Amino acid sequence: MHKFSFTGVLLTLLSGVLLAVSGATAAQGNTGQDGVKVGEMSIFRKLAPSGALENQAAQQYLQTMQQAQQQHALAPASHKQVIRLRAIAAKLVPYALRWNPRAKEWKWQVNLIGSKQINAYCMPGGKIAFYTGILDTLKLTDDEVAIVMGHEIAHALREHGAERAGKSMAANLGVRALELVAGVKGYDPSVAGAVGGGIVKMGMLKFSRDDETEADVVGLDIAARAGYDPRAGVALWQKMGLASKGAPPQWLSTHPAGQDRIAEIRRHLPEVMPLYAQAKGVDIKSIMPYRSNVSTIAAVN
């Protein structure tokens, strides 16, 4: 009975911490009348000053590029894939600014690193990097590159890095409070902290998956406005699924499962396809299905 009460105290207190964190990220408004609808950015991002994170990101990005250059892995500006990536970014960025006024002040950069990693990212402040592995392994079309880039840009625009840092600070304070309460109640604070930390970790994984979903949705909006077919997102994640067999189950990953992402993308296509049609200057009814460059992937309506 004593053990049951101890567990009850832990679950009650930690549930309160997690509910407080998740409740602060609830949708509070929309960015506009057309396109996708998401809530206001999390208040937790304010616990980690954006300017400081952007400066830190700029330094880290510079170091990464310098290291890549020393290893002869940084593609030159004349590289055809660098030219391609920067051209796509130039089309996306103007439509990214509506999501975060600070982005107008960012010094955007796009670089390509020679590596087999299937990866790309956009750091706070608009510092974008692609790895040759994601381009070569997945054989990305321009539309698919735009979906990836839009997703990564969305992370920076929505300040997910600052949000995660803020949530982590709040959760750690919750665990500390839990240890103090456990001590007052006569329980072992170290055990309470260990159990509480595990519960918080699982909760934070869910929050990270929510960020990934939001980045997918916002990225679709940006890509569509720039004239890239948002249905390419379906083909992209089908390709990713073929390349990432053996990935951890969704509940142990910071990224939603591929099929879940595809379902979410399809759910938002009615919101973004009109933007794509408008960008292309055509009637939406005249748009043909999206066809990727892999024969085993079916056309996407």
All structural domains of the chain with their residue ranges: 41-286
17 half-sphere exposure, CB direction, 13 A CA radius: 27
The pLDDT tens digits for 148-185 are 999 999 999 988 555 565 455 544 544 455 445 545 55
Res 126: pLDDT = 96
- In whole angstroms, give the CA distance from residue 156 to residue 87: 19
Q: Which two tokens stand for residue 13?
A: 């207190």
Q: 290 near 300, Cβ under 8 Å?
A: yes
Furthest C-alpha separation in the chain? 71
CA angle in degrees (0–180, nearest 5) for 154-258-167: 45
pLDDT lower than 50: segments of the chain: 1-7, 9-11, 13-31, 44, 47, 166, 170-171, 173-175, 178-179, 182, 187-188, 191-193, 195-207, 250-252
Give every CB contact of residue 105 below 8 A, 6+ residues apart in sequence. none
DSSP codes, the chain? -HHHHHHHHHHHHHHHHHHHHHHTTS----S-SSS----PPPGGGGGS-HHHHHHHHHHHHHHHHHHHHHTT-BPPTTSHHHHHHHHHHHHHHHHHGGG-GGGGG---EEEEE--S---EEEETTTEEEEEHHHHHHHT--HHHHHHHHHHHHHHHHTTHHHHHHHHHHHHHHHHHHHHHHHHHTTS-HHHHHHHHHHHHHHHHHHHHHHHHHHHHHHHHHHHHHTT--TTHHHHHHHHHHHH-TTPPPGGGSSS--HHHHHHHHHHHHHHHHHHHHHHHTS-GGGPPPB--S-TTSPPB-
Res 202: pLDDT = 45
Res 101: pLDDT = 87
pTM: predicted TM-score of the whole model, two decimal places: 0.74
Q: Which two tokens stand for residue 66?
A: 């310098």
Res 172: pLDDT = 53
Phi, psi of 118 (to 5 degrees): -90, 85
Res 21: pLDDT = 45
Place of tokens 């049609």: 277
Q: 300 near 234, Cβ under 8 Å?
A: yes
Catalytic residues: 152
The pLDDT tens digits for 93-132 are 999 999 998 899 999 999 999 999 999 999 999 999 999 9
